[in-house]
Amino acid sequence: MAQPAPPTFEPIGIGEESRPPLAVTPNPASLFRDRAERFRALAEGHQMKPYLLFLAGLSQAQHATQGNLSPAAPPEAEDVRRAAEFGMPPIARERFEPDTAVAETLDRFFDLAAAVEAPEAASAALARLASRDSDRRRELLFAALADAPSADALSEHVFVSAALQVHFARLAATLDAGKLVPVADGACPACGGPPVTSSVVGWPSAHGARFCACSLCATRWHVVRVKCVLCSSTKGISYGEIEGVLDSIKAETCTECRGYLKILYEVKGPSLDPVADDVASLGLDMLVREAGWRRGSVNPYLVGF
Amino acid sequence: MLGEVSRRQFLKGAGASVAGSAMGALGFMGVEEAVAASIRPFKLANTTETRNTCPYCSVGCGIIMYSESSKADGKRKIMHIEGDVDHPTNRGTLCPKGAALLDFVNAPTRTKYPMHRAPGAKEFKRVSWEFALDRIAQLMKEDRDRNFVAKNKDGVTVNRWTTTGFLAASATTNETAFATYKVVRSAGMLVFDNQARV
């Protein structure tokens, strides 16, 4: 007699399931335009209004730089495959070799940035950048890639970093997000860089999951919540917020490494931008640092802070 | 490793190797001071998010519990509970019972201590664990002494105790389940179940 088929058990949907992808590559066509808008919206009535408006202008320049710019050359498929095999980032900044597309991006961005209303010091820095020979520019470029500006070139660092953000966001956009692999704790799977902030996102496919945003290439990558992004400890995590003011931005502090990274609750405020809101919530940094925590993120617009 | 490099970059980015700030260098004077002045009246509030497992049933869904210090007495109080997106079992979802956990946690009628309602009494009254365990053990022993079946009618040793049953809960560890099984079966109890949805 034939045996009855074994029973099969199908999962029963009891709600909207979140299956967050490992990484989401940026969309440079809207990234900087949206950021500029966010900067402008934040500037209204803000103590940092002049600076936020200046950064809105810079972001708009980042957006405009891309218009009819020759496309960024994607890395070789073989290199991407090998990088994935060994858990390395495919567009690693350590191995970055600037090509003509980078030079073109930098030139165009500096030109456009010069039109942004800015104090004397900023315009002077741009003028210095425009006239600087390629060796000096290369030096600044690698300092920006290492997030290690020299103290006498902080203003140049801001502009060079912003230009590189454009180039790397375009590079990252050429990657297949599905083929990226985790590379290290607190490192971007596309370029290996540190995060600027992390966000609890409200995306339909990943509602309530936390994604870090890369400070350079704007790739977002998934990191388990209630875990230190900087040292991966799950012990001693707590969240600092400005009492009674901001509950959509908190500082995730870790007693193991004494560092903190801001966490933006996009589920509460969908317009939060990883970079713009990091700058605009500088007050939170001041309070958290006063309490003895070290800022663990990188944002060229807040360098030196 | 890359992680090490990144860590070093964090330190540099955090201002270990630079003096001044981008804002100052770009000529935005007084902005930092304005921010510093604006936050002076404010305090840093501390909240926590804690991973845990829903206590209701054997599915074992992951939850994240948000708590903050109460303004009234300074005690930590849970103010929100949601499904843990990173948990492979439920991926952020919760059933209606799990979704109502906050009311369960803060319910005024929640049982926090052993309670005893004596035969004939109308009210439960709080008792010590000592009393509760002694009382249960005493009643179990009396019942077992009265009704234990050592041999069946054919004279075969069976060591059964069928007049008392044991219902254990599901939200236990393997070790708890092991200990429960050993205690219950060694006593000869046959009626024994783990309720998956208490």
Digit-coded pLDDT (tens) for B25-38: 899 988 989 999 99
Instruction: Grade residue B12 by pLDDT with cuts at 50, 70 and 90.
Output: very low
| Contact yes or no for B92 and A297 at CB 8 A | no
**Is residue B39 predicted with pLDDT exceeding 60?**
yes
**Tell me, what amino acid is at A294?**
R
Whether B62 and A209 have beta carbons less than 8 Å apart is answered as no
Tell me what pLDDT residue B197 has.
60
From B10, B51, B91, residue closest to A226, measured CB to CB: B51
Bigger pLDDT: B55 or A44?
A44
Do the bridges between strand A210-214 and strand A294-295 make them parallel or antiparallel, or are there none, so unpaired? unpaired
Closest by Cα among B39, B73, B66 to B51: B66
pLDDT by residue (tens digit) across A218-238? Answer: 999 999 999 999 999 999 999
Judged on CB neighbours under 10 Å (0-12, 13-18, 19+), A117 is exposed
Asked if A268 contacts A288 with a C-beta cutoff of 8 angstroms, the reply is no
Q: Which residues contact A171 (CB under 8 A, 6 or more apart)?
A: A72, A74, A75, A91, A191, A217
CB contact under 8 A, A48 and B21: no
Task: Tell me if A24-178 shares its fold with A180-302.
Answer: yes
Which stretches of chain A score pLDDT less than 50?
none
Of the ranges A7-11, A223-227, B10-14, B165-169, the best mean pLDDT one: A223-227
Q: What is the ipTM of this complex?
A: 0.84
CA distance A15 to B95: 8
Both tokens of B83, joined, read: 């499904």
Whole-number pLDDT of residue B13: 43
Q: For B47, which of A150, A154, A241 is closest by C-beta distance?
A: A241
- Domain-by-domain residue ranges, chain A? 24-178, 180-302
| pLDDT score of A204 | 84
Residue A10 burial (10 A CB sphere; 0-12, 13-18, 19+): exposed
Chain A positions touching B50 (Cβ under 8 A) are: 226
Question: At residue B119, what are phi and psi to the nearest 5 degrees?
Answer: -55, 130
What integer pLDDT is reported at residue A14 of this predicted model?
64
Query: With respect to CATH, is domain B47-105 assigned 3.20.20.70?
Result: no
Total length of chain A: 305
Res B198 pLDDT > 60: no
Beta-carbon separation of B49 and A125 below 8 A: no
**Structure confidence at residue B5 (pLDDT):** 35
Residue B55 burial by Cβ neighbours in a 10 Å radius (0-12, 13-18, 19+): middle
Rounded to the nearest angstrom, the gap between the alpha carbon of residue A138 and the centroid of all alpha carbons in its chain is: 22
pLDDT band at B3 (very low <50, low <70, confident <90, very high): very low
pLDDT at B14 over 60: no
C-alpha B170 chain-centroid distance = 13
Token pair recorded at residue A195: 């995060």
Band the pLDDT of B18: cuts 50, 70, 90: very low
Q: Is A78 exposed, middle or buried (0-12, 13-18, 19+ CB in 10 A)?
A: exposed
Measure in Å the smallest separation between the Cα of A30 and chain B Cα atoms. 25
Angstrom CA distances, B192 to B59, B120, B169, stand at 20, 29, 11
User: Chain B window 35-64: which residues touch A at a Cβ cutoff of 8 Å?
Assistant: 35-39, 42-51, 64
Strand intervals (E) in chain A? 23-24, 195-200, 210-214, 220-222, 237-242, 249-254, 259-265, 294-295
Q: What is the pLDDT of residue A195?
A: 96
Question: What does the alpha-carbon distance between residue A18 and residue A71 come to, in Å, rounded to a whole number?
Answer: 34
Task: Provide the whole-model pTM.
Answer: 0.85
pLDDT computed for residue B11 by the predictor:
44
| pLDDT (average), residues B108-125 | 94
What residues contact A146, with CB distance under 8 A and at least 6 apart?
A93, B9, B12
CATH of A180-302, one of 3.40.50.720, 3.90.1670.10, 3.40.640.10, 1.10.3720.10: 3.90.1670.10
Nearest CA in chain B to A231: B7
Return the CATH number of the domain spanning residue range A24-178. 3.90.1670.10
What residue segments make up the domains of chain B, in order of their start?
Answer: 2-39, 47-105, 112-146, 148-198
The number of C-alpha atoms within 13 Å of A38 and in the hemisphere containing its C-beta is: 20
User: For all residues of chain B together, what is the average pLDDT?
Assistant: 86
Contact A155 B17 (CB under 8 A): no
